[in-house]
Each structure stands twice: as structure tokens, then as C-alpha cells.
Structure 1
Amino acid sequence: MLIDFSDFSANQRYHLMTQTVIPRPIAWALTASNLGTNRQVLNLAPFSYFTAISSEPALLMISVGKKPNGEVKDTLTNILENQKIVIHIASESQASLVTETAATLAHGESELAEIDTDLLNTTTFDQFDLPRLAQCDIAYGCELYEVKEIGNTPQSLIFAEVKTLYVNDEVISSSNERVKIHADKVSPLARLGANEYSGITQPFKRNRPD
């Protein structure tokens, strides 16, 4: 089958792309409104239009659309307000929790308030203004680098610069002064199309040519 994208709506293209660009990593993004005040509210949301794009500067990119009613999503509102975001890598066992945090809530309501704290809670993120999720093996403490608006909707590309990285000691080993993070121990959750997710198979190696 040959598919001409000019024959399809944006929504149809979305479904085609998310079922063919697979698997995709998930950015489990934590932001806050009213950061540093007694009215601070934490927001947690997953995004699978997500990737690492540069190491100098160290940048991650999240593509954020609008809420179903057309309003700006809280993740974008919050990072524009206070310039901070924590991006987590969720594990395969957290698929249900990740899905829960995809719910559309009114601004000022926290997804974390709806989840059993025995399953998911925050802890202090040393040397960073926001907390991190205690149950995630990997967390990036990032500051806003740039936001680019693209398309007619528009879609917001959030470029976040990594300032600090937390990795659980249990998924790390060191060899020849290089840190080795064991993907099989992290067991990262990946996004497929529709309502489908995936884990990873056993990692394998192939040497690159000289």
C-alpha cells in the first residue's frame, strides 16, 4: 500500500505516524504551577513525541499539542511560567500509571493527587528546584531552552536543556571510566499506536564499522 499524505487529515496522519514510528520513548514530564509558593501544584503527563536531539548543548525535545478543547496543556503553561521540567523514563511495569496521567484535568489540578502514593510519589531532586518521581530509575532535571511553534494548530516543540541527571545506582555499572546503564534493568516503557505499549526485548550488540 502506498499512502499519499495529502489525501489525509491531520488526525489521520497522526494515527498513521504513531503506528509506524515505533517504538517511541515516553517522556513522563513533571512540571509545577506557582513554583516556590504554598500554592504549588505538580503536573505529570506523558508525551511520546519525544527524543534527545543534541549533547552540546544537552537538549531533549518534547512535542506538545493542545487539550481536546483547544486549551494549552499544563506542561507548556508551567514550563513557560517557571522554566523548569523534570523528564522521567517510565518502566514497563508503570504502563497503567502512565496512562492514568494522560487524563485531561483542569489547570491547577494534579494528576498525582489521583494516584495511590504507595504506587507513585515524589522525592527531593538534589540540586534542582522541582522534585522527581521516587519510583523512576531515570530523571532529567531540565531548564527551558526554547519553544518553537509549528503548524496551524499550533504544535509546541519544547527544547529542554539537561542540567542534572538522576540514575538509580541499581541500574548502573562502571567500566573503563564509562558509566554503563543497563537497559534491561531499567525496562523502559515504549509507545506504539492507538492504546498499545511495549517493553524491550533482550538487548544485543553489533559493532559499528571503523
Structure 2
Amino acid sequence: MIIDFSPLELKYRYKIMSRSIIPRPIAWIVTEGKTLNIAPFSYFMALSSNPPTLIVSIGHKKDGTQKDTLKNILQTKKCTICSVTPDQITQMHASSESLPEEVSEAEAFGIATKRIVEDFPPIITDSPSAFFCELNQVVDLSGSKTIPLIVEIKKYYIADNYFDPNYNFELDLVARVGREYRLCNKKIEP
């Protein structure tokens, strides 16, 4: 069956894409604005290793205004993207709730953070890895309320207990598959 996307309602396009492009890693993005903002995004992927870039798509709030993450990145040009472990799923999922801009998810949901790189937002304390990124480019999808951002990796954090001098990290990270969260580091033999 061939499905034509042009007449398809947005909710069905989303369902097809979110169930077919799997797994989608979770970008738990930390930004700074009026408060410390922490929010998860599953439309996130590596884009290139030269320059080292990632892409994340950020929608708008239900009222049509910019999400705090988007507003903060556009203003400060910086973000810290933390990985998510199975132990962090409850807090990560809670941080997706829409809060007033003056309320920090760190305080509302008890998410511990620590600043380890000057001039970048802090990491989530228990995250085993994080990318410290600067805004490289805003992609214009004419007519879309979703704004794809290309961010360039400037520094990378890996917890000491995961570090390997050959950079062969084995991280147990969470990804989104359809509506569910799953562990994305399980090897399958061909």
C-alpha cells in the first residue's frame, strides 16, 4: 500500500513517522532563560560528524507560542543535550509537562543538575553522557509550527565509569518507539 502524505491529517503523518523511524533517541535538553528549563524531545538525531552536528525538532505550545526550550536556544544560542537512562524515565517523562516559563522543571520534579562546563547549561546529574552545543542553523519548514534546529557539538561529557580510551562506549539509553520508551542498546545478531 502506498500512502499519499499530502491529503493526510497531521496526526496520522505523526503516527506513521513515529512508528516507522525507530528507535528515536531522547534528547533531554537543558537550556537557560528566565529559569533553568529541562525538556525531552524525541524528534532528535545525529546529523553529521563533520561538522559534528545534531538536529532536534521543537514544536510550539498548545497556545501557539514558542516552547521555552526553543525560545532559550534562539536567545542564548546554547543548549546541553543529556542522555536518558532507564532510572530517569519517570523524571524525564514528567519534565515533558508544560509549565509556566517562570517554573523550572529541575525544581518542580526534583531533577538534580550540575554545571561542569562554563558558558553552557548544566547537565542532569545522573545522565551518563551529554553534548554541549551551540546553535548552528534554524531550518525553515515553510508553513510548519515545528522548528528544526541544527546544533553543533562543542564538548562532550561521558561519566568516568563509562569511558573507554578507544571511545567504544556501552551506554544503556532510552529511546522512543511509537508511544513507548525502550532500551536502545540491545545487540541483535544477524
Settle same-fold status: TM greater than 0.5: yes
Matched, 1:137 2:121: no
Determine the structure 1 residue equivalent to 2:17.
17
**1:26-105 alignment, distance < 5 Å:** 26-34=26-34, 41-105=35-99
- Which residue number corresponds to residue 157 of structure 1? 148
Shift of 1:204: 5.5
Partner of 1:5: 5
Q: C-alpha offsets along residues 99-139 of structure 1, whole Å, 9 cap, x if unaligned?
A: 101101122221111113xxx31112234432111110001
Alignment partners' CA distance in 2, 1:198 and 1:79: 28
Report the Cα offset of residue 25 of structure 1: 0.6
Aligned length: 190
Per-residue deviation, 1:154: 2.8
**Inter-partner Cα distance in structure 1 for 2:178 and 2:189:** 27
- Aligned counterpart, 2:174: 189
Amino acid at match of 1:179: Y
SS at match of 1:5: coil
Distance across 2 between alignment mates of 1:158 and 1:108: 24
Query: SS at the partner of 2:120?
Result: coil
Aligned with 2:143: secondary structure? coil
Q: Look up the SS of the partner of 1:149 in the other structure.
A: coil
Distance across 1 between alignment mates of 2:123 and 2:14: 30
The AA in structure 1 aligned to 2:105 is E
Secondary structure in structure 2 of the residue aligned to 1:173: coil
Q: Is 2:79–2:120's contact at 8 Å kept on the other side of the alignment? A: no
RMSD: 1.8
The amino acid across from 2:159 in the alignment is N
* Residue 203 of structure 1: how far off its partner (Å): 2.7
Secondary structure of the structure 1 residue equivalent to 2:82: strand
Identity of aligned residues (%): 33
Q: Unpaired segments of 5 or more residues in structure 2?
A: none
Shift of 1:151: 3.7
Query: 3-state DSSP class of the match of 1:202?
Result: coil
- Partner SS state of residue 140, structure 2: strand
Unaligned 5+ residue runs, structure 1? 35-40
Normalising by structure 2, what TM-score? 0.92
- Residue type at the aligned position of 2:132: G
Q: Is 1:107 equivalent to 2:101 in the alignment? A: yes
Secondary structure of 1:179's partner?
A: coil
Q: Aligned equivalents of 2:109 and 2:103: distance in 1?
A: 13
Larger radius of gyration: 1
